[in-house]
């Protein structure tokens, strides 16, 4: 399943990046990565992985059968610059779904890195037998990610009005997008 990794990609501006599964030894690099994510964005994450204790527990709980984590590493300084996670539920009725979460370091956005990572994770999901990828986006915060997902044929499945709150107590809609994967066929 993870035999396609490590894999090299190149950003739109020529930066060589290695995609590979996360390792327990990545804890310090992941901590630095999550600390660089703006607080406004970290607020909406399920876990504050910028907190060392939370990150340590999260890394300790990684289960390759249920959660797959791929990191993007800049080959110049060996710095983690992006993280993508596929979450699968253990119940049989939901095993055909995977929830997708991706985050790219602010300094590396708008270089087509996120798009390439998503294309790779879509192929990985197909290899795993996933039929649908589900992604959630906070309206007004993750608009660039929504545009990128639409370009890769994710479709809006639902909008939960005033579903999440920001740190000031303001409500935001949560957009749920889904991509149906076709085994043995090109999705694009």
Q: Compare 85 and 55 and report the one with higher pLDDT.
A: 85
Model pLDDT, residue 131: 95
Structure tokens at 145: 């990610």
**Model pLDDT for residues 103-158, shown as the tens digit of each residue:** 999 999 889 999 999 999 999 999 889 999 999 999 888 888 888 899 999 999 99
Model pLDDT, residue 2: 82
How far is the CA of 92 from the CAs of 24, 89, 177, in angstroms?
29, 8, 22
186 has pLDDT over 70: no
**Model pLDDT for residues 86-96, shown as the tens digit of each residue:** 988 888 888 89
pTM of the model: 0.86
Model pLDDT, residue 187: 53
Q: Which CATH superfamily is domain 7-180 in?
A: Gcn5-related N-acetyltransferase (GNAT) (3.40.630.30)
Structure tokens at 79: 């710095």
How far is the CA of 104 from the CAs of 78, 126, 127, 160, in angstroms?
15, 22, 24, 24
Closest Cα to residue 79, out of 17, 121, 23? 17
Q: Compare 40 and 92 and report the one with higher pLDDT.
A: 92
**Domains of the chain by residue range:** 7-180
Give the pLDDT mean for 64-70: 79
Cα distance between residue 188 and residue 149, in whole Å: 13
Cα distance between residue 78 and residue 95, in whole Å: 34
């Amino acid at each position: 399943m993870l035999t396609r990794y490590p894999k090299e990609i190149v950003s739109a501006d020529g930066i060589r990046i290695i995609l590979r599964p996360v390792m327990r030894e990545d804890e310090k690099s992941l901590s630095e990565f999550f600390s660089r994510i703006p607080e406004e964005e970290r607020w909406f994450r399920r876990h504050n992985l910028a907190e060392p204790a939370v990150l340590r527990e999260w890394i300790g709980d990684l289960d390759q059968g249920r959660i797959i984590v791929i990191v993007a590493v800049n080959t110049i300084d060996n710095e983690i610059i992006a993280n993508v996670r596929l979450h699968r539920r253990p119940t049989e009725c939901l095993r055909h779904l995977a929830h997708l979460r991706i985050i790219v370091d602010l300094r590396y956005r708008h270089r087509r890195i996120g798009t390439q990572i998503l294309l790779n994770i879509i192929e990985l999901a197909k290899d795993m037998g996933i039929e649908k990828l589900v992604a959630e986006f906070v309206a007004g915060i993750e608009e660039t990610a929504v545009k990128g997902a639409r370009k890769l044929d994710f479709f809006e499945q639902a909008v939960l009005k005033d579903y999440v709150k920001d740190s000031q107590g303001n409500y935001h809609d949560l957009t749920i997008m889904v991509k149906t994967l076709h085994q043995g066929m090109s999705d694009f």
